[in-house]
Structure 1
Amino acid sequence: MTAAIARPRGARTREATDRKIMRAAMQIALQRGIAAITIEEVARRSGVAKTTIYRRYANTNDLLRGLRNLGVPDDAELEVMEPTRGNLERLLQGVVERFRAGIGVKTVGMVLASDDEFFHHVVDAVVRPEERRCMVFIQHGIDAGVFRSDADGRFLFGTAIGSMVACEALRGAVDDDWPARMAELIWPAIAA
């Protein structure tokens, strides 16, 4: 049974609504700037009623604090995975799933490309934890002698993110087989 099925329906609905609100707010901020974010505009773009948004956020400043505090849930299982090709694929699949469930893959690319100071907090909260997961996995492989000693986790993560964002932008979505294909591409470059 997956985690999505195990959670009560109300919790899944709330999470989906929260994602709609956050994605709409991020789109507004990226397209028109932080000052353009209003509860009314977020409601219009997200399709979520203003009353629902106001139940979660007292005002626009509260919503902005919510954006700044975005984060990826900690998943300790991924940080201790054995350095195998299959687990590399699982790691990449997890990154895609968490970005999709959070602010969206395309938004990750837009946030990374932005020079606005506000988005640096979003990068720190959403992207950096995933980068750390990748670096821990690579370091674990180096320590175990499975990966080359010069394997660069930060570079590999950047390569994977670039590919992921490009797939989203060019194809409209990251293909279901992207993690397997990316793992196939990366594995020979890091295997000892």
Structure 2
Amino acid sequence: MCARPTGRRTGRPRSAEADRAILDAARQSLVELGWGRLTMGDVAARAGVAKTTLYRRWANKSELVVDAVAVLFDELDLPDRGSLRSDVEGMVLRFAALLEQPAARTALMAVVAEATRDEALRRRIRQAVVDRQKRLVAEGRRRAQARGEIPPDDGDPAPQVDLVFDVIAGAVVHRALVSCEPVDGDWAARFTGLLLGGLGAGAPT
């Protein structure tokens, strides 16, 4: 039986092109102006849209900038490099390469600093960036289990996924943004060796 039309208007669908332009403009504004001088009006002007268009999508600049950061992180992937060690090294280097982008570096540091005073912003960062990127750790873990490099799950894997994510993300962010030291192949290899040794997932004997 076919459903009858209800006659309700669903409103104008969101434009993916407009969304991309807005998020690009938000990152550009942040790099050029900094957090304090960035305004929704400036972003709207750069994106070529009305300010009301922004407010239909984002309540304030905090939400807008977090989503602008999240889009960059969503582009991260985890190619299968054949081993857990290689997969982890690849993840570290890809994450570091993302942080080398001025837009990603500036936006991430700005929202993290602002989040120290804003619990709602912290929650949004966790949901839009942190929780979504844990997928890479979960994916790498499943591959390693399929290869027999680490044992199958004995209970809920979420706590270990959370911990591994925190260790990798924390180390790379600190190295790249706090210590301002290079995250190169040598550092990635040494870090991975330490991480896998701690997890008991070194080379098979």
- Asked whether the two chains share a fold, i.e. TM above 0.5, the reply is yes
Residue 146 of structure 1 and its aligned partner are, at CA, apart by 0.4
Give the Cα–Cα distance (whole angstroms) in 2 for the partners of residues 170 and 67 of structure 1: 21
SS in 1 for 2:74: coil
Q: CA 1:131–1:116 in structure 2 vs 1: closer, same or farther (change >3 Å)?
A: same
> Counterparts of 1:26-105 in structure 2 under 5 Å?
27-28=35-36, 38-39=39-40, 50=42, 54-56=45-47, 58-59=50-51, 61=55, 64=61, 66-70=64-68, 71=70, 72-75=73-76, 78=78, 80=80, 82-101=82-101, 103-104=104-105
Q: CA 1:156–1:128 in structure 2 vs 1: closer, same or farther (change >3 Å)?
A: same
**Contact (CA 8 Å) 2:23, 2:65: kept in 1 or not?**
no
Residue 107 of structure 1 and its aligned partner are, at CA, apart by 4.8
Instruction: Note the aligned Cα RMSD (angstroms).
Output: 3.8
Count of residues in Structure 1 that have an aligned counterpart in Structure 2: 161
Q: CA 1:187–1:132 in structure 2 vs 1: closer, same or farther (change >3 Å)?
A: same
Task: Find the structure with the greater CA-based Rg.
Answer: 2
Give the Cα–Cα distance (whole angstroms) in 2 for the partners of residues 23 and 124 of structure 1: 23
Identical aligned residues as a percent: 15
Determine whether 1:176 maps to 2:177.
no
Q: Which deviates further from its counterpart, 112-121 or 81-90?
A: 112-121
Deviations 1:80-106 (A, max 9, x none): 554331221001112222344353264
2:167 maps to 159
Give the Cα–Cα distance (whole angstroms) in 1 for the partners of residues 74 and 112 of structure 2: 20
Determine whether 1:19 maps to 2:27.
yes
Gaps (5+ residues) in structure 1? 1-13, 29-35, 41-49
Residue 109 of structure 1 and its aligned partner are, at CA, apart by 5.3
Q: CA 1:145–1:135 in structure 2 vs 1: closer, same or farther (change >3 Å)?
A: same
Give the Cα–Cα distance (whole angstroms) in 2 for the partners of residues 108 and 164 of structure 1: 17
Deviations 1:7-60 (A, max 9, x none): xxxxxxx998653324578844xxxxxxx85258xxxxxxxxx5x761315337
Gaps (5+ residues) in structure 2? 1-21
Q: CA 1:160–1:122 in structure 2 vs 1: closer, same or farther (change >3 Å)?
A: same
Give the Cα–Cα distance (whole angstroms) in 2 for the partners of residues 181 and 88 of structure 1: 11
TM-score, normalized by length of structure 1?
0.60
